[in-house]
Amino acid sequence: RAAIEPSAAAPSSPSQSHRPTRLMPVADPHPSLIELHEPSGGQWPGEPLGHDERASALRSLADEVAGCQLCQLCRTRTQTVFGEGDPMARVCFVGEGPGADEDRTGRPFVGRAGELLTKMIEACTFTREEVYILNTVKCRPPNNRNPEVAEIESCRVYLDRQLEVIRPDYIVCLGLFASQTVLRSKLSVGRMRGRFHTYRGSKVLVTYHPAHLLRDPAVKKEAWSDLQMLLREMGITPPSTRKR
């Protein structure tokens, strides 16, 4: 897959290259550029569903996604990759899209990047079963190319509906595509990370995609600092040592 290089879209001048290392939420120096779509204080509509109702709503949606022909990716996929985890999860991890392993198995994040994501989740003291893992697009882009804007926009309705059923307290966006899609932003990962954003009733954290961390392990410490910020916000004392 073509690399998502969070730094590729990063602003070049030092005054713009805002990469906070602080662990607490900070004010963005350019708030007008962020979250124009989502005024803070957004809420999830209606009453939250119980476990069984959520599980059933997600099963129906997964059936719908399995037959989806909204974009050209339906012609090359082996199967759709809907997502998996606890319908009551407090935290959702949103990736980019299925790769070859996911297309073959129908499960998200089961390849090398998935192994690292599992370690990241476990370093947060969670298990994969306790969180919910999903992708921005549900079908593999051929030859591991990046998903196109039209594909992301067609699939967005499913992402939104999944999140609306689960209504997690926290959404962790992994990499550029998830972050820009959920937050409807054009900013780089480097500009979006380091603070909490809002998507409807959820707090949103942006961090690097595990595939990027595999290519550039030096960035792992920044990803870990993002996850520590999440844990603090959740009232969980972050483990002091980084587990890999």
Report how far residue 42's alpha carbon sits from residue 199's, in angstroms, rounded to the nearest whole number.
Answer: 7
Q: What is the DSSP letter of 166?
A: H
Stretch that binds ligand URA, among 12-20, 22-30, 91-99, 233-241 (CB under 6 A): 91-99
Nearest CB to ligand URA, comparing residues 73 and 113: 113
132: β partners:
85, 92
110: left (phi over 0), alpha (psi -120 to 50) or beta: alpha
Nearest CB to ligand URA, comparing residues 77 and 232: 77
- Determine, following the binding rule CB under 6 A, whether residue 132 of this chain makes contact with ligand URA: no
Report in angstroms how near the CB of residue 117 gets to ligand URA at its nearest.
Answer: 8
Report how far residue 158's alpha carbon sits from residue 64's, in angstroms, rounded to the nearest whole number.
Answer: 9
Report how far residue 128's alpha carbon sits from residue 114's, in angstroms, rounded to the nearest whole number.
Answer: 10
Q: What is the DSSP letter of 25?
A: -
Stretch that binds ligand URA, among 11-19, 49-57, 94-102, 144-152 (CB under 6 A): 94-102
92: β partners:
132, 171
- Determine, following the binding rule CB under 6 A, whether residue 108 of this chain makes contact with ligand URA: yes
Report in angstroms how near the CB of residue 73 gets to ligand URA at its nearest.
Answer: 14
Report how far residue 38's alpha carbon sits from residue 73's, in angstroms, rounded to the nearest whole number.
Answer: 29
Sign of CA dihedral 164, 152, 7, 4: positive
Tokens describing residue 215 = 């290519």
Report in angstroms how near the CB of residue 13 gets to ligand URA at its nearest.
Answer: 30
- Determine, following the binding rule CB under 6 A, whether residue 135 of this chain makes contact with ligand URA: yes
Sign of CA dihedral 221, 232, 199, 196: negative
Size of the site for ligand URA (CB under 6 A): 13
- Determine, following the binding rule CB under 6 A, whether residue 95 of this chain makes contact with ligand URA: yes
- Determine, following the binding rule CB under 6 A, whether residue 147 of this chain makes contact with ligand URA: no
Stretch that binds ligand URA, among 22-30, 90-98, 141-149, 183-191 (CB under 6 A): 90-98
Kindly tell me which residue out of 93, 109, 126, 208 binds ligand URA, with binding defined by CB under 6 A: 109
CA-atom Rg of the chain in angstroms: 17
- Determine, following the binding rule CB under 6 A, whether residue 86 of this chain makes contact with ligand URA: no
Stretch that binds ligand URA, among 11-19, 69-77, 110-118, 227-235 (CB under 6 A): 110-118
The contact set with ligand URA (CB under 6 A) reads 95-99, 102, 108-109, 111, 113-114, 135, 211
